[in-house]
Amino acid sequence: MSGPDSDPRGELALAVADLQVSYGQKRAVDGVSLEIEDGEIFGLLGPNGAGKTTTLSAIEGLLRPDAGTIEVQGVDARANPLRARAMVGVQLQSTGFQAALTILEIVKLYAGLYGLARSRSELLEALDGVGLADEASRRFAQLSGGQQKRLSLLIATIHDPVLVLLDEPTAGLDPQARRQLWNRIGRIRQRGRSILLTTHSMEEAQAVCDRVAILDHGRILAVDTPAGLIEKHRDDPRVVGVAHGEVTLDDVFIGLTGQDYRD
């Protein structure tokens, strides 16, 4: 288990190799490999159904992969799922909490699940950190979308994990709330933590990610910094064909994944 006795130095925050996940006959993730360094924000970009959430779910331990390895700070997440999960914070795409519990009680529950005994004042302080101290006695369903996302992010990071997995963290948020969440993500990185996030937003990928991977049909098509991807594919005919003026990350994405509708 993570703690003072562990020596995470020198290990990657996350190392995924040749990950394969199927739903029946359909291969949803087909040989995905990626490595995330300490303090790095890594973005997974892809159209709907590309395999982003499935990849994240496999890393989170919610899905059993057909093949491949997943290591969190050197810990084999398939062999030691609970030990790996103790080092990971997760914000799911759609989050549900017990409807009868107040926000304060929800935070207390999750702190306890990560082994943290927090007093009421400490919990309120944590809520204050995400601007939710005044909502402590309300229910999750009574919060706005932005407040729900902030609470989810607080719970995902309450145990100060080495790796935070965020599945479309800013989906459905207004520009102000999105910008605030980017700032919070930036502060997590400043503490030396790593983040793997999925997003449909090229603006988000460019604003917060150190590196991004473009995923489609369960395979990684390209990995680089946002600027590096643009540079690398600037003259790619598929990209040039969809660009309107100067090539953007959006053009690279559309060029590599196509313009067809996805489910």
Partner 1 sequence: MTDAASGSPTIGAPAPTLRTQLRALLEADLLVQLRNLRAVALSTILPLVLLFGTFAGRRAQILGDPRFKVASCMMLGMATIAILGYSMGVARDRDAGVFQRLRVTPTPGWAIMASRLAIQVLAILVMAAVVLVAATAFESVTLDAGGYVLTLLAVVFAAAMFLSIGQALVGLIRSTDTLNAVSRLAYIPLFALGLLGHTDILGTNLETIARWSPGGVVSTMLGGAMSPTTWNGETWTAVLVALAYAVVFAGAGIRWFRWTAS
Residues that bind partner 1 (CB under 8 A): 1-4, 6, 8-9, 38-39, 60-62, 73, 82-83, 85-88, 90, 92, 94-101, 105, 108-117, 159-162, 191-193
Residue 261 phi, psi dihedral angles, 5° rounding = -65, 145
- Shortest distance, CB of residue 114 to partner 1, whole angstroms? 5
| Nearer to partner 1 among residue 93 and residue 225 (C-beta) | 93
| Minimum distance from residue 237 beta carbon to partner 1 (Å) | 39
Of 77 and 243, nearer to partner 1 (C-beta) is 77
> CB 18 → partner 1: shortest distance, Å?
23
Decide whether 163 or 173 has the Cβ nearer to partner 1: 163
Three-state SS annotation for 218-259: CEEEEEECHHHHHHHCCCCHHHHCCCCCCCCHHHHHHHHHCC
Which helix (H) or strand (E) segment holds residue 67: the answer is strand 67-72
Least distance (Å) between residue 59 CB and partner 1:
10
CB of 159 to partner 1, least distance (A): 3
| C-beta of residue 41 within 8 angstroms of C-beta of residue 189 | yes
Q: How far is the CB of 203 from partner 1 (least distance, A)?
A: 27
List b or e across 92-124, with b for residues whose CB sees 16 or more CB atoms inside 10 angstroms. Answer: beeeebeeeebbbbbbbebbeeeeeebeeeebb
Count of CB atoms situated within 10 Å of the CB of 137 = 10
Cβ–Cβ under 8 Å, residues 135 and 147: yes
Taking the C-alpha atoms of residue 20 and residue 18, their distance in angstroms, rounded to an integer, is 6
Q: Of 139 and 200, which has the nearer Cβ to partner 1?
A: 139
